[in-house]
Amino acid sequence: MRATLIYGAGDVRVETVPDPKLSEPTDALLRVVRSCICGSDLWPYGSMPARDRGVRIGHEFLGVVEAVGSDVTTLKPGDLAVAPFVYSDNTCQFCREGLHTSCLHGGNWGAKGVDAGQGEAVRVPQADGTLVKLPHTEDDDLLASFLTLSDVFATGHHAAVKAGVNERTTVTVIGDGAVGLSAVLAAKRLGAERIILMGRHRTRTDLGREFGATDVVAERGDEGIEKVRELTNGEGTHTVLECVGTKPAFEMGVGAVRPGGTVSRVGVPQYAEGPIGPSLFRRNITVTGGVAPARHYIPELLDDVVEGRYQPGKVFDRTIGLEEVPDGYRAMADREALKVLVKP
């Protein structure tokens, strides 16, 4: 089959790889119907040292079950199902607590011996625990929104949940990428009435307004902090959803949050140490967030998508075939595209 591999910064290739097959009785084989490129894929695309052997990449996908191992009970061939961006057994103590990203028997797509999502097919370990059956067919208009449950909408939701967003909290969302916009939508869904979106790309912030942002702040750094404070009686917002992952973005979050408030991070931190010293401490700021346990959230979010209450799939603004994936990376890295959907 064909699948995407990354060889280093700026070097993504689609190549022929061995066809996946069932190896454990808990496996399923999934023919990928939709995949996509994640903002976090752009980190290795921007900086990974070159290597002789490529590594498989892509962690967001949905598709049709082609075969299942003998222990799989919740899926059968022909089912349409979505995979969260890590696999998990859904039965260990961490999964039972809703932290599927710390599953004792889970792991990452593209890790040694595990397929990744930007390809024609995937062997899915722990299929019963990982895959969530979708109630529609593969021709459905809802496929793009279903695919966001795999990562981007679930991640925005995680940011909002960990921050404690509700109808009484003001919210700042840092970043107008697909995760930031998803966080706006998630905050709105959780009842937030005041959502300040920090971003400077007009087409993206326009979608942010459609998703529920009440204010847009284009300024960054100290100026951005000042603007958020101006909008909030000098205080900052109760919650900040940091959806970028750079240190300046986190610092902006710390500046924009209200005393007693929470900075919730879902952008993978590109820094080892951050400013959590006396100034944060004196104001009783909480820092939370992390990799989103998408699997935990999918059932809840799926209902809203199926019934058309939310359309997170609007974050996709380009659709390509599998062979065009390298250009999809380029387009996202150049900010020509917000988020690229792949139809293998």
Q: In the complex, what is the shortest distance from the CB of residue 282 to a copy of itself, in angstroms, rounded to a whole number?
A: 6
The position carrying tokens 């039965």 is: 91
Q: Which is nearer to a copy of itself, 119 or 289 (CB)?
A: 289
Q: In the complex, what is the shortest distance from the CB of residue 102 to a copy of itself, in angstroms, rounded to a whole number?
A: 4
Site for a copy of itself in 308-337 (CB under 8 A): none
Q: Is 164 in the site for a copy of itself (CB under 8 A)?
A: no
Distance between CA 123 and CA 177 in Å, rounded? 30
Q: Is 287 in the site for a copy of itself (CB under 8 A)?
A: yes
Among 54, 107, 269, 326, binds a copy of itself (CB under 8 A): 269
Q: Is 111 in the site for a copy of itself (CB under 8 A)?
A: no
Site for a copy of itself in 216-245 (CB under 8 A): none
Q: Which is nearer to a copy of itself, 162 or 204 (CB)?
A: 162
Q: Are strands 121-124 and 194-198 parallel, antiparallel or unpaired?
A: unpaired
Longest Cα–Cα distance in the chain: 61
Among 23, 47, 137, 284, binds a copy of itself (CB under 8 A): 284
Contact present, 78 and 41 (Cβ < 8 Å): no
> Which pair of tokens denotes residue 145?
């929104």
Q: Which is nearer to a copy of itself, 116 or 291 (CB)?
A: 291
The runs of H, that is alpha helices, within 164-232 are 178-189, 202-211, 221-231
Instruction: Please compute, for residue 163, the number of CA atoms within 13 A of its CA located in the half-sphere on the CB side.
Output: 38
Distance of alpha carbon 200 from its chain centroid, rounded?
Answer: 21
Q: Is 45 in the site for a copy of itself (CB under 8 A)?
A: no
Contact present, 202 and 227 (Cβ < 8 Å): no
- For a copy of itself (CB under 8 A), the number of binding residues is 32
Select from 18-26, 112-120, 260-268, 303-311 the region that touches a copy of itself (CB under 8 A): 260-268
Q: Is 18 in the site for a copy of itself (CB under 8 A)?
A: no
Looking at residue 40, what DSSP letter applies? G
Q: Are strands 2-8 and 11-16 parallel, antiparallel or unpaired?
A: antiparallel
The position carrying tokens 């370990």 is: 125
Site for a copy of itself in 76-95 (CB under 8 A): 94
Select from 11-19, 47-55, 126-134, 283-291 the region that touches a copy of itself (CB under 8 A): 283-291
Q: In the complex, what is the shortest distance from the CB of residue 56 to a copy of itself, in angstroms, rounded to a whole number?
A: 20
Return the axis-axis angle of helices 178-189 and 202-211, rounded to nearest 10°.
20
Among 71, 137, 276, 299, binds a copy of itself (CB under 8 A): 276
Among 191, 221, 248, 260, binds a copy of itself (CB under 8 A): 260
Nearest to 178 by CA among 38, 328, 321, 319: 38
> Which pair of tokens denotes residue 269?
């931190």
Looking at residue 265, what DSSP letter applies? E
Q: Which residues bind a copy of itself (CB under 8 A)?
A: 94, 97, 99, 101-102, 162, 259-260, 265, 268-269, 271-278, 280-291, 293
